[in-house]
């Protein structure tokens, strides 16, 4: 395994783990300051967009140039970003962190279904099997199958809606890339517009009071930078050197960390049925990514990581596809 690939593996694990800690900040602002999900989203977006703007101005100021016709696109997918974050933070406040994280991770299912219509992707038996497997896993996690579904229904629905909105946000990133918009520009303007949309509806006074407190400021920086932008950048770099299957497998650390945080900090239960459900859902997501890898093999003959696809190099120089 070459150096970049090894660092990429470590990067995905670190990035996924940081995402898995989001519940710490979400519950802090809810429990300590009485902020609702919309207020917490404002904090996350505000600190994220400031950090991202500084990075772009330092390293790629030309990325800030966009076409006017792309603005409605950013507004639409900014709304999906808001929907994803608000429903996810609400879910984290009403149901267990591991469950909220897992149900949001159903985003690939929505992406698959929507892509059939938008990008003319085909629905194969293997993809359908993955959807069924993941659905059964969700039933185990929520307790429907074993008759213990005594949790907050609105929290479950919110987490599922978060998965749908995040899936649309992912599709928006794919469309932006196809339209020639740089990834950093797409992310910046989507978050900026989302921040401006949230601002009139959030309790700004309460948010300011929370973040000017030393402890609150640390948590705000952790939420907007350490647990949002840092893993975004790490994962964006890491996936250039890894095949989708391995990335999907390593991303399970988000769920593992969320479960550990919930268990250690909030006394949440990790039952056998829940562990089985988590295993089924992650298995289905891995199966979906294996299908993507097989499709790519049929076109190219072997899987080539993103960092090597557009380089004019001999096939012997590409990493071995193991």
pLDDT along the chain (322 residues), means of 10: 79 90 95 96 96 92 86 90 94 88 79 71 73 76 61 86 86 76 86 94 96 96 95 80 66 80 84 77 71 50 47 40 42
Whole-angstrom distance, CA of residue 321 vs CA of residue 39: 45
Number of helical H runs and strand E runs in the chain: 16, 0
Tell me, what's the pLDDT at 291?
53
Tell me, what's the pLDDT at 121?
64
* Domain boundaries, position 302: 3-306
Which tokens in the block code for residue 130?
Answer: 């993955």
DSSP category for residue 147: T
Within-domain flag for 172: yes
Do the beta carbons of residue 289 and residue 248 sit within 8 Å? yes
The burial of 47, by beta-carbon neighbours within 10 Å (0-12 exposed, 13-18 middle, 19 or more buried), is given as buried
Whole-angstrom distance, CA of residue 29 vs CA of residue 90: 12
Domain count, the chain: 1
Place of tokens 């919110």: 158
Within-domain flag for 316: no
Report the largest interatomic distance among the alpha carbons of the chain, rounded to a whole angstrom: 59
Within-domain flag for 103: yes
Within-domain flag for 22: yes
Tell me, what's the pLDDT at 143?
66
Within-domain flag for 144: yes
Within-domain flag for 147: yes
The phi and psi torsions of 310 (rounded to 5 degrees) equal -100, 15
Whole-angstrom distance, CA of residue 314 vs CA of residue 38: 51
Do the beta carbons of residue 111 and residue 171 sit within 8 Å? yes
DSSP category for residue 2: -
Within-domain flag for 127: yes
Tell me, what's the pLDDT at 148?
58
Which H or E run includes 228? none
Within-domain flag for 315: no
């Amino acid at each position: 395994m070459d150096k970049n690939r090894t660092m990429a593996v470590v990067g995905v694990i670190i990035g996924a783990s940081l995402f898995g800690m989001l519940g710490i900040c979400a519950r802090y602002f809810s429990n300590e300051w009485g902020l609702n999900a919309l207020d917490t989203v404002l904090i996350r977006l505000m600190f994220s967009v400031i950090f991202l703007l500084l990075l772009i101005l330092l390293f790629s100021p030309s990325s800030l140039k966009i076409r006017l016709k792309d603005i409605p696109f950013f507004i639409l997918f900014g709304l999906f970003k808001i929907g994803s974050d608000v429903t996810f933070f609400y879910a984290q406040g009403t149901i267990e962190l591991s469950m909220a994280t897992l149900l949001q991770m159903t985003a690939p299912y929505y992406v698959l279904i929507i892509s059939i219509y938008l990008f003319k992707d085909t629905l194969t038996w293997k993809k359908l099997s993955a959807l069924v497997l993941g659905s059964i896993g969700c039933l185990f996690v929520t307790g429907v199958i074993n008759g213990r579904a005594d949790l907050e229904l609105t929290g479950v629905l919110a987490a599922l809606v978060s998965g749908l909105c995040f899936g649309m946000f992912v599709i928006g990133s794919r469309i932006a890339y196809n339209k020639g918009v740089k990834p950093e520009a797409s992310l910046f303007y989507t978050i900026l517009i989302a921040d401006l949309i949230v601002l009139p509806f959030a309790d700004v006074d309460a948010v300011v009071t929370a973040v000017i407190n030393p402890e609150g400021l640390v948590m705000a920086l952790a939420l907007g930078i350490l647990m949002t932008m840092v893993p975004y950048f790490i994962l964006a770099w890491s996936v250039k050197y890894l095949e989708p299957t391995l990335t999907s497998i390593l991303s399970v650390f988000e769920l593992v960390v969320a479960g550990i945080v919930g268990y250690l900090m909030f006394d949440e239960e990790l039952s056998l049925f829940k562990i089985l459900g988590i295993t089924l859902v992650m298995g289905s997501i891995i199966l979906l990514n294996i299908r993507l890898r097989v499709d790519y093999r049929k076109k190219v003959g072997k899987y080539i990581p993103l960092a090597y696809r557009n380089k004019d190099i001999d096939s012997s120089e590409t990493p071995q596809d193991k």
